[in-house]
Chains A and B, each alone.
Chain A
Amino acid sequence: MYRYDEHDHALVQDRVTQFRRQVERRMAGEISEEQFRPLRLMNGLYLQLHAYMLRVAIPYGTLDSRQMRKLAYISRRYDKGYGHFTTRQNIQYNWPKLEETPDILAELAEVEMHAIQTSGNCIRNVTSDQYAGAAKGEIEDPRIWCEIARQWSTLHPEFSFLPRKFKIAITGCDNDRAAVKVHDIGMIMKRDASGEVGFEVIVGGGLGRTPFVGKTIREFLPKEHFLSYLEAILRVYNQLGRRDNKYKARIKVTLHETGKEEFTRLVEEEWMQIKDSTLKLPKEEVDRIAKHFEPPAFKAVPEVAPTVDARAASDAGFASWLRHNIFEHKTQGYSIANISVKPMGEAPGDATAEQMDAMADLADEFSFSELRVTHSQNVVLPHVEREALPALYDKLVEAGLATANLGLLSDIICCPGLDYCALANARSIPIAMKIAERFTPAKQEEIGDLQIKISGCINACGHHHVGHIGILGVDRKGEEHYQVQLGGSATEEAALGKILGRGFSADEVVEVVDKIIATYLDIREDGEEFIETFRRVGQTPFKERVYGTA
């Protein structure tokens, strides 16, 4: 994985020093809250319902065991012993003190981490496929391009005060696990007719108040023009994007109001002027970055793993974990192991310091010290020798991290909601917990692949628009209320869910989910997943069951 050079170290250290002085000046009353607010936000520090919240970037979701241990240490030393993995592959601490945040940033800098650009109207942490560098069928490791984008966008002077925040996601697979079509810019690595590798460029996706699936504005972009094209898009957006209304300031609205054809023309026109500038990437520079992402020293091992098969035959729990949490690796004899951070009765994405330490230890023992954080709020050990899976499973069971529910009903994406967030209208975590508790592991297995996504407000941090079942918390006359949507998807077949009908109280919503699932089980055809059934039959049978009428 990428290691800082002297420039990266200097930049992050300088920022820590700068922020320490800014905090001192604020505490001393030399600057007002109004002056200080943008400064703290630039360092990822929010003021939430109960306390400050610090959002730390995990670049494209990749970290090593030493960094995970540091995250655990920070949660123990400066917070309440836990952290929350977010839908943007970041981690949030919910209880830091203002005076201690410079110390936290200094701790992070020791392990090449920071909180820069985790807030504000700038280019945020670039996200990616959590299986990058390990996924079978991957064209190329997208993290090379994420890292190039990270270096380009960090403190980019022209793009530090955009009309609104800006999110980029890049995947190297056809099978989209990074939700690229619902990002401001999504890029999919692909080959052209000659076999050359480049990118499909998708613009204007996003969730929130005005959700859109992004539109492809360039079918194929050669790799050398990666940065110049990004710059052209950002430049057009920076000029056209609305600053008079924050609800209409995202690029999705700019694209919608300008029209795809005209927007594309403007981007191409801008790009023609800069494509052969210093932004054109020399191959040797790309190769230099790529060296950081060379695969670890895999052993030559057979594909068959007799101990795995034997254990699966005799241990139903292991067999279930194998079925749901283990994915195929590109290297023979290796697997990708997902660690669910969604155990029953816990907030989705919350991990204790002890669990973070345990995951770091397991990464050292089983996965070349590498970990990934997923936008689904889970953690991945990307390179596990298949024969070692039983030993890994046993240790995960010991650590309480062996929940076998990846892709199942209880693998719910969920924002912090009104339990923590100052913007939220309703709680989301208790709804997620109640839904998960309603269905036994056996029932969840019977239901199969089902993505439930819950947001506590229209900002949609819980991605409810793209859940197979999406739940949105709203405030209705001072009461928590929930709208239900069906049919969303964040994959390569991205779709926005449709609202089922009138909303429900917190007490009703679990029953409603139960009815939706019962309907699906009644009408599904052989081998048909929930989303496939929905696409076949539409909303009518679900509405009839839930409301008693279509």
Chain B
Amino acid sequence: MSQIVIASGLGSGRVVFLAKGSKTGAVAWGGLIEVSEVAADDARAAELLAIAEADAATQNEVVEPYLIDVEDKGGQLRPTKYREVIRCLGPTVREDLGKQAEGTSA
């Protein structure tokens, strides 16, 4: 199962994604799931998580990073668990709020 790293922005609390090309000392976070660096196996996922955790501990940009499972659905990355789908979109009862209201998708 493919995995990506998700976290919350320290100042905003908003959901952010560990971006492609991130490595220790040069980490980028984006607000769209599409920017995510995708780990194809558990070993790579552990590496990404370690990079994210080190960044969270030192750079004061994000908090509470963790891995989520994703799949490719019609060319778009999508979390496999509904909890993370909701997290990546926004409240299902308020489609005017969250990332879904910003025209982004999960």
Contacts and interface: CB of A to CB of B under 8 A. Distances in A.
Verify that A and B bind, or say they do not: yes
Interface of A: 26-29, 32-33, 47-52, 80, 95-99, 347, 418-420, 425, 427, 429-430, 433, 475, 478-480
Q: Is the interface of B mostly helix, strand, loop or mixed?
A: loop
Interface string B81-99: 1110011001111100110
Contact of B92 (A80, A95, A427, A479): A427
Given A418-B83, A429-B93, A50 B10 contact: no
B11 interface: yes
A28 B60 contact: yes
A98 B13 contact: yes
A51 B58 CA distance: 21
A303 B60 CA distance: 64
A26 B57 CA distance: 11
B47 interface: no
Contact of B10 (A98, A420, A429): A98
Given A33-B64, A47-B64, A50-B98, A98 B93 contact: no
B36 interface: no
Interface string B1-36: 000000010111111000000000000000000000
A52 B57 CA distance: 19
B14 A478 contact: no
A302 B45 CA distance: 75
Nearest to B96: A80
A439 B64 CA distance: 42
Contacts of B98: 50
Contacts of A347: 93-94
Contacts of A430: 92-93
Given A347-B93, A429-B93, A98 B11 contact: yes
Given A28-B60, A47-B63, A419-B92, A95 B10 contact: no
A196 B12 CA distance: 54
14 contacts: A33-B10, A33-B63, A49-B86, A50-B15, A50-B98, A51-B8, A80-B97, A97-B13, A98-B10, A419-B92, A419-B94, A420-B91, A433-B93, A478-B81
Contact count band on B: 20 to 34
B11 A33 contact: no
Contacts of B63: 33, 47
Contacts of A47: 8, 13, 63-64
Contacts of B57: 32
Given A52-B13, A418-B86, A95 B81 contact: no
Contact of A51 (B14, B56, B60, B81): B14
Contacts of B11: 27, 97-99
Given A27-B11, A28-B60, A50 B93 contact: no
A147 to B, nearest CB: 33
Contacts of A33: 10, 56, 63-64
Interface in B49-102: 56-60, 63-64, 80-83, 86-87, 90-94, 97-98
A49 B60 CA distance: 19
Contacts of B93: 347, 419, 427, 429-430, 433
Which 9 pairs across A and B sit closest by C-beta, in order of nearness?
A: A52-B13, A51-B13, A419-B91, A29-B60, A429-B93, A33-B63, A49-B87, A98-B11, A419-B93
Given A28-B60, A95-B97, A347-B93, A51 B12 contact: yes
A51 B90 CA distance: 10
A478 B82 contact: yes
B14 to A, nearest CB: 6
A79 to B, nearest CB: 10
Contact of A27 (B14, B60, B91, B94): B60
B32 to A, nearest CB: 15
Nearest to A48: B13
A219 B70 CA distance: 58
B90 A50 contact: yes
Interface centre among B93, B94, B98 (most CB of A within 10 A): B93
Contacts of A26: 10, 60
Given A51-B13, A98-B11, 16 more contacts: A27-B60, A29-B58, A33-B10, A47-B8, A47-B64, A49-B15, A50-B14, A50-B98, A51-B8, A347-B94, A420-B91, A427-B86, A427-B93, A429-B91, A475-B83, A478-B81
Contacts of B86: 49, 418-419, 427
Contacts of A427: 86, 92-93
Contacts of B8: 47, 51
A95 B81 CA distance: 23
A430 B93 CA distance: 7
Nearest to B15: A50
Contacts of A480: 82
Nearest to A80: B97
Interface centre among B13, B15, B59 (most CB of A within 10 A): B13
Nearest to A23: B11
B85 to A, nearest CB: 10
Contacts of A48: 13
Contacts of B94: 347, 419
B59 to A, nearest CB: 8
